[in-house]
Structure formats: C-alpha cells, structure tokens
Structure 1
Amino acid sequence: MSLKELNPKNRFNNRAENYGKYRPTYPREIIQYLEETIGLSKGSIIADIGSGTGILSKVFLENKNKVYAVEPNENMRLVAEKSLGEYNDFHSINGGAEDTNLKEKSVDVITVGQAFHWFETMETRKEFERILKPNGSIVILYNIPKKSDEFMSEFLNFTEKYGEKYIKESIKDSKVEFFKDEIIHKNNLINRQEVDFEGLRGLICSYSYMPSEENPKFESMMVELKELFNKYSENDKVTLEYNTEISWCKLNK
C-alpha cells in the first residue's frame, strides 16, 4: 500500500479531539538538550511540521519561541488553534511537509513530532532546504511506547491485536533516504504518562490504526481494555512509559 493510499492528510479527521486531549506531551528536558546541542534560544524561530493538535508546538511556545505550526488536516489544526490561540507567538499554517506555505530561509529550526513517516521524503527534503536558514537544524521526535513492565507489555500486545494491519514506510528507512550524507545525532529521554481509564480509552481512540466507534470490533475492544486497566491500575490510574527519541542534524546544502 502506497503512502497516498494511506491518506495521511485525512486519516486523523475523526481522531483530532482525542489526539489533542489524550496523546502524551514531550519531556521539558528536550529544551535544555536542544539549547546545548543546536544552540536553541528563545529567539529561535520554529517551524513545527505536521504539527497536528499542537502538542509539540506548545513545548516551544512555553519556551517563548515563535512557532509556525504547519498542519494540512483542518480538524487537527482547529484543535491546535483553540488550545494555543492565547500564545501571541503561535501561528497556525494550512500546509504540508512538501508545501509548507512558509517563506524562503525563514526559520531556524524545523521540528517534526510523530509525523515524519507520513511525509513524501524527497519532496519534503527540498521544501525543508528552502525554508531553513543557513546553519539551521532539523529535529525529529517520536514518543515510542516501551515494554518496560507487565502492563506495558500487555498494552502493546493489545494494540497489536486490534490494530489494523497496514504497510508504511519505516521511520528508519525514511531518515536514511532523507538525510543523505548528514551526520544524525540521537538521544533518548524517558517520558511517562499517568492516565485514568478515560485517558487510556481516549489514547486508544486517538490512534488512526485502531478500530473507531463505528467498527463492530470496538465494543469488545473496550471491554478488553477495561479488563486490562482493572488488572494493573493503582489508585485508579496506570502509567504508560515511552522513549522520547530525538534525532537532529544540520542540513548539508
């Protein structure tokens, strides 16, 4: 199945509210890490590409950065505009990775959170080269669930059981093709998300590959999810653990 057939720009149409409310944020430590590595400062202009509901954009807005949040999906974009509209430095842009609608040489840092695998690789490379200032940086982040304990192991088995089987370009291969001869620097941060059952249910409903409420499998999936939650919850909550994987580089142009 091709990337076009997977319909990346529209597959989150009915997931936007859950995505914005229940997906994990990113560790605040990424700010200090990027200050030490790429020279991030409060004056750095950020283009957050595939910004979705603004989860990553918010981290940089709280750091007093100007952020251009570029997102092609209207539903996702509207959620971000509602939640981040109070920030004067937040600018919502209707655009995609391959055509951002940003000016040439206009940004210091390009960030991508949970979205790189949805981009057309070489078209995106050309566009990033166009909008990035000389000596600018590209930062790619993924929150990747860890099988850190029995709950996380069973939770990931659960998502594999109910998740739709679809073929997508691997993150690793996308990066190899995209970055060409650049040196890619990497780091990992631990990220934890504590949720009640409503939060766990909302998280599952935010995944584009999980059955939606209209799917006949949805009811039985929720029954099993509740059983999993009851088995491992303490004080009516469970903790999901992620590796926040950071990859960054300076583009050779």
Structure 2
Amino acid sequence: MSHSDSTERFSNRVADYVRYRPDYPPALLDWLHQDIGVSPDTLVADIGAGTGISTRLFLAAGHPVIAVEPNAAMRAAAEQWLSPDYLRLKVVDGTAEATTLARDSVGLVAAAQAFHWFDTDAVRQEWARILHPGGLALVFWNSRLLDSSPFLIGYEQLLLEFGTDYTAVAERYQDDDTMRAWFGDGLRGMARLPNAQWLDLDGLRGRLLSSSYAPPAGHPRHAPMLDALQRLFDAHAVNGRVAFEYQTRAFIGTLD
C-alpha cells in the first residue's frame, strides 16, 4: 500500500470516525504518569493524530500537545472538536516519517491506532530526531478481541466475508516481539489494559463503517454487509446493546 493510499483512505469516513471509534482507557495515563514517571506537563507530539481521539486523552490529562496529521479532513475535524476547549493544542500538517517538528523539541512522541500504517524504520529515525535527549516514545492501540464472546466471533466472520482488504490490514498490527525488537534496549515498559464500548445498532453500524476495509455505500457488498450486521446485532444484543471489547496494548521506551 502506497503512502498516499494509507494517508487518504479515511477521508470519506471522518464523521463516523469521530463519533464511533473507541477512546483509550484512563488507566493508560495512570500507567504513563505513575509507573513510567512521565510528568503531566511534558510536551507531547501525537503522531497520526487523526480526528484527535488520542490527542484529547493527553490534553485532558494536562499535557500540551502538537497533533501531527497528514489528512486534511481529519485535521479539520480535530481542530473543530478540540480547539474550543483546549488552549494547549497545536495541529500541524505532517507525516510520521516527516513531522515538520524541530530537532530536540518534544519530551514524548506518541502514536496510537495509526502506528501500523507507518514505515517503522523511517519513523524511528525521525522520532529520535525530534525527541529531547532521554525523551520517550509511546506506541499504543486498541486491539479488538476476536473470540471473547459469540458476538465478537460473529463480527470477525462478517469482516472476513464482506471486508474489502480486511485480512491485509489486520496483518499489519505488530506483535509484542516485533515491538520489543523495535525498541531494542530502550524498551522501558509494556502494558495491556481492558477497554470496551457498549453500542446500540446505530453505534455498531457507525463503528463498522469507520473502518477503512468496510465497503462504502454504492459498493456491491455494502448493503449485504449491513443486513448481516443487523442479524448479528439482533442475535446478541442485551437491552439494546452489544459489548465491543478491546485490549489496549502499550509500549514505551527511548530511541537512542
């Protein structure tokens, strides 16, 4: 997949992304501050910030944040959503591999769900450039649990049947050994934290359509996919909602 493809593939999904993508658990910031020892006033470069879901997590905890995002529609959504409430936010047009930030300018580089789209060799060099000496890189993302409930087993089968390039995208996420190797001797910590969304049918539909591999309206698999999603929801909803469960995985270390 080319760099331009990975940058632009969410442009037509911004509204669903803002409304239906999951947050990250507050325990992630507790771990970062209390266990790792990062000060809440540390300047964060949030790389691949998208619509600002991860950015808001840091801002709400007191961090000043530079949100770096190459997709214009997502940058606009982040500014519209966050700028009125958070004065310590700057949003810039840049990529993970070419952030546009100055050398030795931030104390923490963070990347959330977008990390699996990056050129991990190039970003390691770029992030080391923009970090203060001894600064840390934090990589984290929500991993959907595939088989922890009959609903999630059925949802995985739905993606395999109807997704446009689901298998190729799913295989991009790094495993623990890959992340250990990426950080090398600089690895300072790893965490696995529970996370979940409780979704009604509209929320579940929006969550599905926020995914880049979900066929959009007009695609021959779009309507059959939504019909299958309705049946899946009807079979497993309790009090009008289903549990969309994740494990938030986090890795932190230096890049010296």
TM over 0.5: yes
Partner Cα separation in structure 2 for residue 142 and residue 177 of structure 1: 18
The aligned residue for residue 161 of structure 1 is: 161
Q: Is the 8 A contact 2:108 2:137 kept in 1?
A: yes
Q: Of the candidates 181, 188, 192, which is equivalent to residue 188 of structure 1?
A: 192
CA RMSD of aligned residues (A): 1.7
The aligned residue for residue 135 of structure 1 is: 134
Paired residue type of 1:33: W
Equivalenced residues, count: 250
Paired residue type of 2:223: E
Paired residue type of 1:198: D
The aligned residue for residue 106 of structure 1 is: 105
Q: Give TM-score scaled by structure 1 length.
A: 0.93
Q: Is the 8 A contact 1:38 1:137 kept in 2?
A: no
The aligned residue for residue 237 of structure 1 is: 241
Partner Cα separation in structure 2 for residue 194 and residue 167 of structure 1: 27
Partner Cα separation in structure 1 for residue 80 and residue 156 of structure 2: 31
Partner Cα separation in structure 2 for residue 104 and residue 129 of structure 1: 9
The offset of 1:185, in angstroms, is 2.4
Partner Cα separation in structure 2 for residue 122 and residue 30 of structure 1: 25
Partner Cα separation in structure 1 for residue 151 and residue 231 of structure 2: 12
Q: 1:174 to 1:12 in 2, by over 3 A?
A: farther
Other structure's SS at 2:228 match: helix
Structure 1 residues 88-97 or 147-156, which shifts more?
Answer: 147-156
Partner Cα separation in structure 2 for residue 82 and residue 174 of structure 1: 36
Percent identity between the two aligned chains: 35
Question: In the alignment, is residue 171 of structure 1 matched against residue 170 of structure 2?
Answer: no
Partner Cα separation in structure 2 for residue 38 and residue 237 of structure 1: 36
Question: In the alignment, is residue 224 of structure 1 matched against residue 228 of structure 2?
Answer: yes
Q: Is the 8 A contact 2:183 2:254 kept in 1?
A: no
Any residues of structure 2 matched to 1:67-86 within 5 Å, and which?
67-86=65-84
Q: Of the candidates 34, 50, 53, which is equivalent to residue 52 of structure 1?
A: 50
**Greater helix share, structure number:** 2
Other structure's SS at 1:171 match: coil
